Structure 1
Amino acid sequence: MAQHKPGKRAAPWWQDAVVYQVYLRSFQDSEGDGVGDLAGVIARLDHVVRLGADALWLSPFHPSPMLDGGYDIEDFTAVHPLFGNLETFDRLVAEAHRSGLKVILDFVPNHTSDRHPWFRESRADRANPRRDWYVWRDPASDGGWPNGWRSMLEGLAWTRDEATGQYYYHAFLPEQPDLNWRNPEVQAAMEAVLRFWLDRGVDGFRVDAVPHLVEDELLREDPPGDLAGEGLPVQAGVRHAFTSDRPETHACAAAWRQLIDTYEDRLLIGEARLPAERVMRYYGLDAPAFHLPFNFVF
């Protein structure tokens, strides 16, 4: 009698997928206002299919002052009126799926816009319930910055809030205050953001600026830049040993993966500008986080 052989399990769709990035502002304008939008993407889905793509990656389309190309977000669960609305987004997902395309969004967990309601509440006063949602510190003993941490862009990574007398931390622009990922309420709020879009049928996320999620709690100074050091980012003359790729970040990323795995056939892509051996820590078997890396080394 012939032996029964179990069927081979199909490989995940993302293993050999071609992903086409759409930066909305410059893709297709459907309204004649000079700005690309979600309806414009819908109108061009056949074009994307003919190119041989399997998935769309949409850069941020949320309400934003647009100081950083939309990565300074005012509301994680809304659509900027420039680009359409949630109804149009839902239609895009439905039409993309009918065309055989997956839809991937940007998830920006490190920071918000300083116009986000969470930050407006956080900076209202020191006793506000959302104060600890961001990284606030007292001035140094001489009244200056809490320490010498530098932004990944330029200048110091601290901005003084005159009303409350403390400084808030920002790994990028001063208008992009960092969320405090040591706070369980922040973790829960951002997991709710993921669920919001997953429940609308999104197939995955490209996670922005992953290594910068958590900073050293003791505010230890980053050492001088040394390209032969531990392979951490070197920017603005320092090696970001205490402000990048901290152990706590891996736990946050693993929690996102656990959430994603409660949905069928979804994808997490990690943007971690690190050497390959450090990037691969986010794909470990003990507590896997991402399915795919951004291969900056390549």
Structure 2
Amino acid sequence: MAPFPSSSVHQARAALAGRLRELRLDAGITGKALAERCRWSVAKSSRIENALTAPSDADIRAWCAACEAEDQAEDLIAANRQADSMYVQWKRLQRTGMRQLQETSARLYERTRQFRVYASHVVPGYLQTPGYATALMGTIAGFRGTPDDVSDAVEARMRRSHVLHEGNHRFATLLEENVLHHRVGDAEVMAGQLGSLLASMALPSMSLGIIPATAHREDVMWHLEQFTVFDDVRIHVELLAAKVTVTAPGELDIYLRAFARLSELAVYGTEARVIITKAIEALR
């Protein structure tokens, strides 16, 4: 997984920094004078103004006061929080455990009509069996040192997955073949999960494609980070350290084009079933 946040986060930070710089220039003061009024270092002013350091709410209020633009503070704070929400560390999202994250995303799943999901490492949450989800979340909780509420989180994930069977939802799902061989839990858990994938292919809401390990990638030559597209207007990208939310049109287009290209590499129907069945047989 890529270790860096999406460039849309940087763009949002840069836009905020630009607005703060404009306030200073409109006030006719130097960076040094602003630092003196805010009672912090000149270096801090420079880092904020060049989008190298994200300001706190208090920093923004102090900046606006120094520029005699207190009426701008709340709007700038809102913009800062929006930028912050684009890149959220898993540690922060899961600070109280994983159940709450499952529950807070349920409404997004319920209102989304078209899902496009690319899975490069693990089976997507809405297709996970309880055994697979339990093993996966247990590993995540141990690695990240989050509170252990795995059993409650698994129940919440299973409830969230009702969208597979209820409502007017459609799922276009692409799995790299290596996902079928990435061992999560023991052989029994994996066999159950792979069998569930076979069963899911019969769902009227589901299009499931497997990208063979031997696929000729040409212009998509690597395994991308795992991502989910919600109604083509919002994308969640799963990095090792954080979840990135992409809404910028230019970046949405990049991911949608990548998904379309990956869809062409995938096999479906009987060919996909053969690959999954072989993965089950390999567990014996």
Structure 1-normalised TM-score?
0.28
Higher relative contact order (CA 8 A, sep 6+): 2
Structure of larger gyration radius:
2
Structure number with the higher helix fraction is: 2
